Amino acid sequence: SSWTPAWFKERYPDKRVSTDQGEMRLSDFMDAITSDSGEPGPFLREQPLEDVFPDLVDHVLPTPEFVRPNWLQDDYRIGRVNRRLNREGKIEVNFAGRRVFPYLHIDDLGVHAFITQHYGSKEFTVFAPDQEPYLYRRGTERFSEIVDVDNVDTTKYPLFAKAKGTKVVVNAGESLFNPFGWWHTTRVPGASLATVVSLSNASNWSELVTCLRGQSGRPLLAAGLAAYLTAVGTAKSLLPRSRAT
């Protein structure tokens, strides 16, 4: 891939981006994430690639066949539903320096995630859904009570000793498919440039509908929307794969 910090600095020397440390010039952002100061760098994440770097969308298309169809990108004839799902289904940038996201969690809306590493590397620790009984989920939230899976207080969380996780390092030019319901954490050892796309289709649509219903504060409206989306999903699942988009 041509995506390197130096390439971005040369291509967009004065472009401004919004990070978790505020707005800054992209060239300064790239300097910060490649710094060896030992401090966590800024984070540019969960922003649609088409908004931040619209001219780079063609660099990551088409998505692999196994990432399609992606029903998040469809039209559901309801404005607020389209806004939520269409936004969720956009390819996002995930640029960072050395940092740790140790919080054990599952992704929102029961989506699958497809992460592609363009520069640097990223370490994931993942746990299959059947390991959840040992992961101390916080009620119905999508986060665990366990903050750092590499430093667990086993007197407070004794069942975690039974959990079977897997560490996966994703290097530049590689991708990771994280299915819905898989718990995970992330560590970034240095400058990292990645993209991620969330997806939903017949394989996890019911989970998405359940999540949307649970997040609504209006039970009757939520029940109607859930019934509508369930029917739409059933209809889509009956279409030939080439048309189920």
**Would you list the domain boundaries of the chain?**
5-238
pLDDT for position 198: 98
Architecture of domain 5-238: Sandwich (2.60)
* Residue-by-residue DSSP string for the chain: ----HHHHHHH-TT-EEEETTEEEEHHHHHHHHT--SSS---EEEEEEHHHH-GGGGGGG-SPPGGG---GGGS--S-HHHHHHHHHHTS-EEEEE-SEEEEEEE--GGG-EEEEEEEESEEEEEEE-GGGGGGS-B-TTSSBBS-S-TTS--TTT-GGGGG--EEEEEEETT-EEEE-TT-EEEEEE-S-EEEEEEEE-STTTHHHHHHHHHHH-S-HHHHHHHHHHHHHHHHHHHHS-TTT--
Q: What are the structure tokens assigned to 20, written together?
A: 């978790």
Per-residue pLDDT of 198-208, as tens digits, reads 999 999 999 99
Give dist(CA 198, CA 184) in Å, integer. Answer: 15
pTM: 0.93
Q: Which two tokens stand for residue 10?
A: 């040369």
Q: What are phi and psi of 91, to 5 degrees?
A: -70, 125
Q: Mean pLDDT throughout 13-28?
A: 95
Q: Which of 37-46, 50-59, 123-132 comes out lowest in average pLDDT? A: 37-46
The answer, yes or no, to whether residue 244 has pLDDT greater than 70, is no
Residue 157: pLDDT over 80: yes
